[in-house]
A and B are shown apart, each in its own frame.
Chain A
Amino acid sequence: MSLNKILHVDDDEDMRTIVHIALSMVGDFQLEQCSDGEEAIRKAREFAPDLLLLDVMMPGMSGEDVNARIRAIDGLQDVKTIYVTAKAEDEFTRSLVRNGALGVITKPFDPMTLGDEIRSLWSA
Chain B
Amino acid sequence: MLDFSKRLKRSNRQLGFALLGVALLGAAISLLFEKQALSLERSRLQASLAEKASFAASEVQRHLATNELAAKTIASHVEARFSAAVQRAKRRNPGRSENRPGAPRPVAGILSQRAFSRLVDPFFDAGMGLVNVAYSHDMRIVFVHPHEENSALVGADHKANPQQLAAIERAIATREYVLSGPVALMQDGHGLIGRMPVLTTGPDPAQETVLGFVSVVSSNDRIVSELRARIPNTRVAIGISPDADGQPPAILGDAEVFRMDPLVQSLTVGAQVWEIAMVPPDGWPTSSAYRGVILSAGGIVTLMVMLSIVLFDRANWLSRQSSLRLNAAIEGIQDGFALFDSNDRLVMCNQNYRAFYNRSAHLMVPGTSFETILRGGVALGQYPDAVGQEEAWIQERLAQHANPTGSIEQKLEDGRWLKIYESRLDDGSTVGFRVDITSLKEAQIEAERASKSKSEFLNTISHEIRTPLSAIIGFATILSNFEALRGGKGTPDDRNDTPPAADPRATDPALHKVKLFAARISENGRHLLALVDDLLFTAEARAELDNMPQDIVDMKSVVEFALEQLTRSAADKGLEVEVDLQPATVRGSETRLRQVALNLIGNAIKFTDHGKITVRLVQTGTSVKLTIMDTGVGIRKRDHDRIFEPFNQVDGSMVRRHNGSGLGLSISNEIVTRLGGAITVDSSKDLGSTFTVTLPSA
Q: Does A117 contact B (CB under 8 A)?
A: no
Decide if B463 is an interface residue (CB 8 Å cutoff). Answer: yes
Check if B467 sits within 8 Å of A25, measured CB to CB.
no
Contact assessment for B478 and A18 in the assembled complex, using a CB-CB cutoff below 8 Å: yes
Q: A86-B462, A86-B470 are in contact. Are A57 and B652 (CB under 8 A)?
A: yes
For this complex, into which size category does the number of interface residues on chain A fall? 20 to 34
- Check A100 for interface membership: any CB of B closer than 8 A: no
Distance between B316 CB and nearest chain A CB, rounded to angstroms: 68
Q: Are A58 and B484 in contact (CB under 8 A)?
A: no
Are B653 and A12 neighbours in the complex by a CB distance under 8 Å?
A: yes
A12 touches B488 (CB 8 A): no
- Inter-chain contacts of B475 with A (CB < 8 A): 14, 17-18
Q: A17-B495, A21-B488, A59-B653 are in contact. Are A88 and B459 (CB under 8 A)?
A: yes
Q: Does B651 contact A (CB under 8 A)?
A: yes
Contact B474 A59 (CB under 8 A): no
Cβ of A46 under 8 Å from chain B = no
Q: Taking A14-B474, A112-B477 as contacts, is the C-beta distance between A107 and B467 under 8 angstroms?
A: yes
Interface check A50, CB cutoff 8 A: no
Q: How far is the CB of B210 from chain A (nearest CB, A)?
A: 165
Are B462 and A108 touching (Cβ within 8 A)? no
On whether the beta carbons of B477 and A110 are closer than 8 Å, the reply is: yes
In the complex, are the beta carbons of A87 and B459 less than 8 A apart? Answer: yes
A12 and B469 contact, CB distance less than 8 A: no
The verdict on B524 contacting chain A, using a C-beta distance below 8 Å, is yes
Which of B471, B489, B495, B653 sits near A18, CB closer than 8 Å?
B471
Is A111 in contact with B477, judged by CB distance below 8 angstroms? yes
Given A17-B520, A86-B467, residue A26 in contact with residue B484 (CB < 8 A):
yes
* Chain B positions 333-353 with a Cβ under 8 Å from a chain A Cβ: none
State A12–B466 Cα separation when bound (angstroms): 13
Contact flags A81-118 to B (C-beta < 8 A → 1, else 0): 00001111100000000000000001111111000000
Among A12, A110, A112, chain B packs the most CB atoms within 10 A around the CB of A12
Interface string of B489-524 (1 = CB under 8 A from A): 111101100000000000000000000010010001
Distance in angstroms between the alpha carbons of A106 and B459 in the assembled complex:
13
Question: Which chain A residues numbered 9 to 59 have a C-beta less than 8 Å away from chain B?
Answer: 11-18, 20-22, 24-26, 28, 57-59
Nearest residue, chain A, Cβ from B473: A108
In the complex, which of the residues A11, A14, A20, A88 has the most CB atoms of chain B within 10 Å of its own CB atom? Answer: A14
Which 8 A-B residue pairings sit nearest by Cβ, starting from the closest?
A25-B488, A18-B474, A86-B466, A88-B462, A108-B470, A14-B471, A107-B470, A108-B473
18 A-B contact pairs sorted by A residue (CB < 8 Å): A13-B494, A17-B494, A17-B495, A18-B475, A20-B492, A21-B485, A21-B488, A22-B474, A24-B488, A25-B485, A25-B489, A58-B652, A59-B653, A85-B463, A86-B467, A88-B463, A108-B466, A108-B470
